[in-house]
A and B are shown apart, each in its own frame.
Chain A
C-alpha cells in the first residue's frame, strides 16, 4: 500500500498539486464517516482517465464526487481511499440550439447548464432536489429527478449520449448526439443510477426542450389523501396535460406554503398541479383542474404564478424537516396506491414517534418520506420498522422502497436498497465485467455491489 505521502505525490503529478487535497482538509470528503486518504480533482477527461489508471494499478477504492449533494445515497462504502472530484470538468462541450441537443461535462452544475440553455429558451427537463447545487454527473449517477418527470420522464428518457471513464482508465462513449439512435446497445441507460459503480461519467449529451411560455400551478387543500387520490385518478384520466402533480401531507404542505408566503389551513393535504403551455391553454387547464378539485371535495385553492410559483416549487425540491436526525425514503408504487402509501407512512411514523413530511410525485407513483426524530435510539429502531413496513407494502405490487439518506449508524442497520430478486446475478455480472477489482464505490450499491 502506498504511503499517504507518495499517494499525494503521484496524484499531484497527474492533476497538479493544487488539485489534490489531503491531510486534515480531506475529512470534508468523508463518505458515511469513511474518510479518504486524498481527494483529486482532474481538469480533463484525460486526467480523469489517468487517475483511474493509477487507482486501478494501486487497487485504490474510489468514490466519485460532484458537488456532494447526493453523497449520503447508497449503502456504507467498504472503504474509501480516494475521492475523485469532478468539479473541474465543467465545460459546455457542444450545444446546437437548432438541433436541441447539448453536451456538458459531468462536473457542470445543473443550474449553470440550465442558464446556458435558458438563453436560447431551452432546458434540460430535470428538476431534481437540491437543483441549485447538484451537478450533471451526480444527478445522472443517482438517477435523481423531480416533479416534472411526469411530463418529460427522467434522465433515461432524454440522455442520448454519454462518455465514461472506466475502472481501468479506458474512455468509452455510448449513444450519439442525435435525438434518435439505436446503433449498438443503449449504454447511457446503464450508467444512469449506477452510483458510479460501473464507471465515472465524464460528459453527457441531452435532448433538450423548449421552455414553456408560461407555467402556473393550482394548489388545492384536501381533507384526506384518499380524496386526493380520487382527484388524481380523474385528472390522469382527463385530457389535461400537467407538467407535475404533487401530493403533500399536511406537514409538508404547511412548510412549503409558508416558504412561498401562502396561507394554509392547518391539517390539510395539498395537491399541486403545474401546467405549462401557451397562456390561453394554461388558463383553460388550470380552470379544469380547479373544477376537478372542487368536485373532489377540496376547499378554495391557490393559483400560483411568478415568484410565488417559483418559490413554492423550490421549497418542494429542497424540502427538509430541519431538526434532529433525518432520513429520506423513496417508494415507487402503483399510481392507484399513492394514498395508501401515504396512510401507511403516517401510521408507522406515528407508532415510532417520528415526524413525517411526505412529498409524492403522485402522477408517477413516487412517494418521498422525510422522517426525523430527536431521540437517536428511537430513531434508528423506528426507521428500521418504517423501511420494513413500507417496503413490504411497495414490493407486494412490484414496487420498491430505497433509503435515499440516513445517518450512517441507521444505514448500517437496514438494507438501503432492498432485494432485487433474481435480477441480482445479472447485476453482479455487470459489476464483475466493468469493475472486476471492485474499486468503484464498493459496497454502496444494491446487494453490496
Chain B
C-alpha cells in the first residue's frame, strides 16, 4: 500500500505542488473531523486545491484509480458531511477563497467556494448591499459549504435559505468535466439542475465557483430583545406574530442555559435569570418597519413579556446578534461537549416539542440548551455531555434520535439546515420511503455514477458500486457495511 500510496502522492504533487499536499499521519489527524466531532475518520491524503484545474485533475486521477474522495470547505459543518468515511483523498477548498467579481448593477457576485460567508457582506456593505443567508457560523463557514448544505441562518423567515440566493454554480463533475449550472440570469431552460444541486451535500460534484444574489440593504431595521419567564410564553409570542400576518426577518429564541453560556462567552446583554430570550427583527422601508414595532410589542405584552428592549443603535443590534450567533460556539463555557440537533417542526408545535425535550432531558439526566430559529420552527437543542464520562456520548446520541423521532411524528423534518451527512443517514427512513429515496438516488447516479465522490453520506445504505479504495488496497464495501 505504501508503495502505491507514494505513487499517488507523487502524482498529486505534480498537480498542486508539494505545499498543497498533506499525507503524514501527525498532520492528517487534524482533518479527521469537522464541526461535529463525534465522528472521526482520517483520509489518506489531503490535497489543497487552488484552481478549478487542480480540482479537475484531481477528480480525474481519483476516477482513474477508483479512489474515493470528499471535498471539505472550512470544516464547520455539523452533520459530518466532510468526513472521509473511506479514507482516500480529501480535497480542501479553503484556498480558493477569492471574491472574483461584484456586479452591483446586475445584483450578483461571483465568488470562489472557499470564500468565508461574511467576507462578501463585508466587501459589499459599504456600497449598501449584503449577502442574505447568514448561518450562525458565517464568520468562519465557506460559501461552498453553504451551497452544499443549503444552509439557513437567522434571516430565513423573511429572506429564505441559501438556495434562494444562488443563481449559478460552476462545478467539476466526477468525470472531470467542468459545467455551469444556472448563471447570472434566471430561468435557465431545461431541468433545474442548480435547484437540485444546492443542498446535495457534496455528493454530486465539486463546486469551483458560485454566483450569488446581492441584496440591497433595507432602509430601516429594528431589533427587539424580548425577555420572558418561560419558553411557553415566548413560543406563544412567535405564533402570535405569525398569526398577525407579520413576516419578521428573524425570530430567534434561547433558553436559560443558552443565555448563560452566551453571557459568559460574549456578554451580549441578555438577562441571565430569564427563562427565555426571543430576539425579533423586522426590516424594510422605514414607514413599514415603524408600523410593525407596536403590534409586536402588544403581542409580547399579551404573552406576559418581562422586558422589551429595542436596540438603540447598530452597535447594540450587532451585539444582540453576536450573542445569538455565538450560542453553539459558546457552549464550551458550560459544558465540555455538546451534541446539536437540527430538527424542524411546524411552528405551531413549538410548545409541545419543548415539553418533550425537557422530558427527555430528565429521563437521560443530560442538560439541554435550547437555541432555535423559532420563526421557522427549526430547533437546535444542544445536548450537553462530557465525553470523559463513560457512556454519556452514547446517551446523548440516543436522546438525539428520540428528539428527531418526536419531531417527525409532529410532521417535521430531521434536519433544517445542517444536512444529513454521515450523522443522520440512518434516520432518513423516518421521513422517506424506499421509493422516495430511490428517486433521490437516481439523481445521484446521474451526477456521480460510480459513487466514489463522498461515499457513505445521506442514504442509510452505502453505495454498493464503490469497489476499491486508495490504490486498490482498501476494501470499501466491507468496511462501510461493517460500520452499519
Contacts and interface: CB of A to CB of B under 8 A. Distances in A.
Classify A-B as touching or not with yes or no (CB < 8 A).
yes
Interface of A: 96-101, 121-122, 143, 153-154, 156-157, 164, 166, 170-174, 176-187, 189-190, 192-194, 198, 209-211, 233, 236-241, 277-278, 280-281, 283-285, 330, 332-336, 364-366, 394, 397-400, 402, 417-418, 420-424, 426-427, 429-430, 433-434, 445-447
B106 interface: yes
B160 A153 contact: yes
8 contacts: A178-B344, A179-B377, A180-B377, A187-B443, A189-B192, A237-B105, A332-B188, A446-B189
A190 B179 contact: no
A210 B179 contact: no
A316 B409 CA distance: 45
Contacts of A420: 188-190
B417 A430 contact: no
B245 interface: yes
B439 A172 contact: yes
B150 A426 contact: no
Given A178-B411, A281-B284, A184 B440 contact: yes
B309 interface: no
Interface stretch (B7-15, B59-67, B196-204, B362-370): B196-204
A239 B219 contact: yes
Given A182-B199, A394-B185, A398-B180, 10 more contacts: A98-B347, A178-B346, A181-B416, A183-B414, A183-B424, A278-B292, A281-B287, A426-B446, A429-B446, A433-B443
A143 B378 CA distance: 28
B189 A209 contact: no
B42 to A, nearest CB: 27
Interface in B234-292: 239, 242-243, 245-247, 284-288, 291-292
Contacts of B348: 96, 98-99
Contact of A397 (B180, B185, B242): B185
Interface in B443-470: 443-447, 458
A143 B437 CA distance: 24
A352 B189 CA distance: 26
A187 B413 contact: no
Given A180-B344, A183-B420, A398 B183 contact: yes
Interface in B339-385: 344-348, 373, 376-378
Contact of A284 (B168, B200, B287): B287
Kindly list the 6 A-B residue pairs having the minimum CB-CB distance in the complex, ordered from nearest: A189-B195, A210-B245, A239-B219, A429-B446, A281-B288, A398-B183
A336 B416 contact: no
A179 B380 CA distance: 15
Nearest to A213: B245
Nearest to B213: A153
A180 B376 contact: yes
B88 interface: no
Interface string B414-452: 111111100010001001110111111011111100000
B458 A184 contact: yes
A238 B181 CA distance: 30
A261 to B, nearest CB: 30
A150 to B, nearest CB: 11
A170 B437 CA distance: 12
Contacts of A210: 245-247
B437 A153 contact: no
Contacts of B192: 143, 156, 189-190, 192-194
A186 B196 contact: yes
B191 A182 contact: no
Contacts of A101: 346
B446 A184 contact: no
Contact of B196 (A98, A187, A238): A187
B218 A239 contact: yes
Interface residues of B, number: 90
A181 B419 CA distance: 9
Contacts of B185: 332-334, 365, 394, 397-400
A22 to B, nearest CB: 32
Contacts, number: 262
B450 to A, nearest CB: 13
Nearest to A446: B190
A384 B365 CA distance: 73
B379 to A, nearest CB: 11
Interface of B: 104-107, 128, 149-150, 152, 156-157, 160-161, 163-164, 168, 173, 177, 179-181, 183-193, 195-196, 198-200, 216-219, 239, 242-243, 245-247, 284-288, 291-292, 344-348, 373, 376-378, 411-420, 424, 428, 431-433, 435-440, 442-447, 458
B104 to A, nearest CB: 7
Contacts of B198: 186
Contact of A173 (B346, B417, B424, B432): B432
Nearest to B459: A184
A143 B191 CA distance: 10
Nearest to B284: A241
A166 B183 CA distance: 30
B428 A184 contact: yes
A96 B186 contact: no
Given A398-B185, A420-B189, A426-B179, A180 B245 contact: no
Contacts of A424: 190
A187 B412 CA distance: 17
A157 B164 contact: yes
Nearest to A330: B187
Given A98-B243, A184-B458, A280 B411 contact: no
B395 to A, nearest CB: 24
Given A186-B163, A190-B443, A240 B107 contact: no
B443 A185 contact: yes
Given A121-B245, A284-B287, A423-B190, A180 B196 contact: no
A175 to B, nearest CB: 9
B160 A178 contact: no
B419 to A, nearest CB: 6
A335 B187 contact: no
A189 B319 CA distance: 37
A189 B432 CA distance: 17
B149 A182 contact: yes
B196 A182 contact: no
Given A180-B373, A184-B458, A284 B344 contact: no
A181 to B, nearest CB: 4
A253 to B, nearest CB: 24
Given A277-B285, A278-B288, A332 B344 contact: no
Residue of A96, A153, A189 with highest tally of chain B CB at under 10 A: A189
Contact of A183 (B157, B179, B373, B428): B428
B284 A187 contact: no
B136 to A, nearest CB: 14
Contacts of B424: 183
B191 A194 contact: yes
Contacts of B186: 154, 332, 364-366
Contact of A336 (B106, B152, B433): B106
A400 B199 CA distance: 25
Contacts of A430: 191, 442-443, 446
A412 to B, nearest CB: 18
Contacts of B163: 156, 186, 189
A192 B107 CA distance: 24
A178 B216 contact: no
A170 B186 CA distance: 32
B106 A426 contact: no
Contact of A239 (B285, B413, B437, B446): B285
